[in-house]
Structure formats: C-alpha cells, structure tokens
Amino acid sequence: MSAPLDIIGAGAFGTALAITYAKAGHPVTLWAREGAAAMHHARENTRRLPGHRFPETLRITGDLADLTADCALLALPTQSLGPFLAATPLAAKTLVSCAKGIDRATGLGPTALIAQHSTATPAQLTGPSFAVDIAASLPTALTLACADDATGAALQARLSTATLRLYRTTDVIGAELGGALKNVVAIAAGAVIGAGLGDSARAALMARGLAEMTRIAVAEGAEEATLTGLSGLGDLILTCGSEKSRNFRFGAALARGESLPPDTTVEGLHTARQIAARGQADTPIAAAVAALADGRADVATIADMLLNRPLKPE
C-alpha cells in the first residue's frame, strides 16, 4: 500500500485529488470544513463534484486532529490559505499547495504563505487540470515546484499516478505566477468571447497574454522557460478555451452584463488587481481586466485601447 496522504479542502479539486490518490492505493484522509458527515454517508461530494463515487480507502473528516500524514495537500483557495495556516497547526512535514493566485492581503504566493506560517517544507502543484477530468482518471500532466530538488523528486514519485503525471521544477516563483497570471488572461478571453469578438481575437489575446505573463514573472525572479511549460502555456490554453474555467465564465458574464453565483471563486480578479497596482511591468491585459471588473471601462473601450497601442516588433 502507498504512503498515506492528507488532503485539506473538499472543493471540487481537493475531492478529485482525494479520489485519484485513493484509487492509486494511498490511504487518503479528506478534510472538509463543512458537510463531512453528509459526504461520508453519501460516499460522494454531491455539492462540488457530483457523480464521482469515493473509493473505500478514502476517509472523510471534519476533525483536524485526524490529519496525521507526513504530507498534506492544501486544496484551499488562495485567499483562505493564509488565515487557515495562521489558525491551524499541522503535523505534516511537507505541505503542497494546490492554490493558484496571489494573496490580496499580503501579496504573497502560496508557498510563501506556507513558509510564513509553518516550518514544513513548501511545494506547489499547478498546471492544466479540471477537477472532473482528474476524478474521471483522464490523462493529466501537472507541474510540481519545490525549491529543494531532492524533496521535489521524492514528492514527484509519491504524487504521480498512472493517469496523473508530474513534472518537477525548482522555479517555484515561475510555477506559481504561471498558475496565477493565466487566470487573468482567462477572464479577458472570456470577455472576448462573451462580447462576440471572435476566436481570432481570443488567439491574439492568448499570445499577447503569454508575453505579458512572462514579463511579469521574469521581473519577479522567475525563469522565462517556466512560462512556456505546463504551469504557464499549458494552463493558459486550457482555461482560455473552456466554459469549465470559472475565470473564463466570469469574463464572459462580465461582457454580457451577467453575474456568476455569489460563492464562485474567481482568483484571477484578485490577481489582476494586485498586478495592476504594482506597476512593475507593462501589463495592459491585467489593467484592462481590473478596469472591466471594477466598472471603470467596458469591453468596447478596452478593445479600442488595446488595438490602438503603439505598433512595435513582436
């Protein structure tokens, strides 16, 4: 039997990981902030991931004292991660964040939040993935980022399965920012499609979005090549082209004058505001997303502004 794993957070992604690792033979404990008893009885997360049954080796709990594995995956929204870690001592020696975003209170990424609140070794799991695909055992490849390469290699072996293939890197900043910044571009892509501007416009936005993502990440100390990998380009392709992406749906809803359910997590909005406020690199797309979401401009005005920027070499 494989080594035990704790997964903290029973949203769609945390539940999907729990199902996948339980199928792979890991004794898995999935912690839910609420609804643990109902999920245990139904053997399914009917609210967040309906239709995907829990394997017998998947244990559901609402008690943090049940989390005893030496490795825990933190499947919590970025904006909840810092407060949770500050209030919750964890026994795990390694904490793997599955969050994508920048904390609006501190401006920190997930692994920096872990380091701030814990002595555990931090790592980041990110890349192109929808929860429903992982839960259904469809082939998925992700990036595992850890500054300590030996720890990263051990995690890579432990967390890879027959259908979930992990590639590792020590460029934690690049992997984190790739996952955070692609959400900003996904909102913009959703707005393009929601406004009826067409697939050609979306393709142009994605290409220029990747250039913007790379400028921002390199300015923060990332390696340029990381942004062309799974955690940058790979995730960008996925989230800019599918209604399964909450950020894409948010952008499309903005353009149509609609709204998403109030409990929908849209990390790209927080990231866009953070990046636009920093002013550290040329970030017209992030600035446009923040302006659109805050009601300071509409899609037509933003499109006109972007199309009339000075001409320059690619």
Catalytic residues, by residue number, are: 182
Helix (H, G, I), strand (E, B) or coil at 49: strand
Distance, CA of 98 to CA of 76 (rounded, Å):
7
Residue 272 main-chain phi, psi, to 5 deg: -60, -45
Write the CA distances from 9 to 39, 52, 74, 143, 241, integer angstroms: 13, 17, 7, 20, 26
Question: Of 100, 72, 53, which is closest to residue 9 (Cα–Cα)?
Answer: 72
Question: In this structure, are residues 81 and 72 in contact, taking their beta carbons and an 8 Å threshold?
Answer: no
Structure tokens at 130: 């929808």
Amino acid at 286: A
Distance, CA of 279 to CA of 24 (rounded, Å):
45
The answer to whether the Cα torsion of 162, 2, 170, 246 is positive or negative is: positive
Helix (H) or strand (E) holding 286: helix 284-293
